[in-house]
């Protein structure tokens, strides 16, 4: 998600980001908001949500209109089953950057979790249109179709997820074929 932004900072002379040494980059320039986002993403990936959230807050203090911290905080809320807060964070990320495909995919997933298949499909489709590599958008669009009792749509989206290497989608498709 943040790799293109990190590349931008590398291209503008922040060599320490190129090597993944974000803490060093922060020591050189504590106002580098994107480095805080990368740190947040790393901690969230290690399920250290509180520390990740702290880094998101630091990034937002430096750059309030940065969408990535909202997307990351939405991921934390989703993991904690707080879908109302997650949806608000994902919406804010999209408001700040309508082309942030990952936020659309995450919002689609949150809408699936809250049984809102029409909204889920809308955002999963947007995510897929923006970035066809986002496997979760395909998978969650399939789940949204399942919520609507739309088997054809489920198969279509799960086929796309399976083409992107999703084993769950592949197994589900195999089971559907056996049922026929």
CATH classification of the domain holding 180:
1.25.40.10
Is residue 134 domain-resident?
A: yes
How many angstroms separate the CA atoms of 29 and 147, rounded?
Answer: 48
Predicted TM-score of the model (pTM) = 0.81
Question: Based on the number of CB atoms within 10 Å of its own CB, is 152 exposed (0-12), middle (13-18) or buried (19 or more)?
Answer: exposed
Is residue 167 domain-resident?
A: yes
How many angstroms separate the CA atoms of 68 and 124, rounded?
Answer: 18
pLDDT band at 39 (very low <50, low <70, confident <90, very high): confident
> What percent of the chain clears pLDDT 90, i.e. is strictly above it?
64
Is residue 88 domain-resident?
A: no
Is residue 149 domain-resident?
A: yes
Q: What DSSP letter does each residue of 71-92 carry, written as one string?
A: HHHHHHHHHTT-HHHHHHHHHH
Q: Which domain holds residue 171?
A: 116-180
Mind listing the pLDDT tens digit for each residue in 142-163?
A: 999 999 999 999 999 999 999 9
How many domains, the chain? 1
Is residue 129 domain-resident?
A: yes
How many angstroms separate the CA atoms of 139 and 40, rounded?
Answer: 25
Is residue 87 domain-resident?
A: no
Is residue 148 domain-resident?
A: yes
Cβ–Cβ under 8 Å, residues 40 and 55: yes
Is residue 37 domain-resident?
A: no
């Amino acid at each position: 998600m943040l790799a293109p932004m990190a590349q931008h900072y590398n291209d503008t002379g922040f060599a320490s980001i190129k090597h993944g040494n974000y803490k060093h980059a922060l020591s050189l320039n504590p106002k580098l908001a994107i480095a805080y986002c990368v740190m947040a993403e790393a901690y969230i990936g290690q399920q250290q949500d509180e520390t990740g959230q702290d880094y998101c807050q630091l990034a937002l203090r430096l750059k309030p209109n940065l969408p990535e911290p909202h997307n990351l905080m939405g991921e934390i809320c989703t993991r904690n089953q707080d879908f109302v807060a997650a949806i608000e964070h994902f919406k804010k990320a999209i408001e700040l950057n309508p082309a942030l495909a990952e936020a659309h995919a995450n919002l689609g997933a949150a809408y699936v979790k809250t049984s809102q298949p029409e909204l889920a499909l809308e955002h999963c489709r947007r995510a897929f249109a923006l970035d066809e590599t986002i496997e979760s958008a395909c998978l969650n669009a399939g789940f949204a179709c399942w919520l609507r009792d739309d088997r054809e749509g489920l198969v279509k989206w799960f086929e796309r997820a399976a083409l992107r290497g999703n084993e769950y989608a592949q197994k589900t498709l195999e089971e559907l074929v056996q049922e026929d």
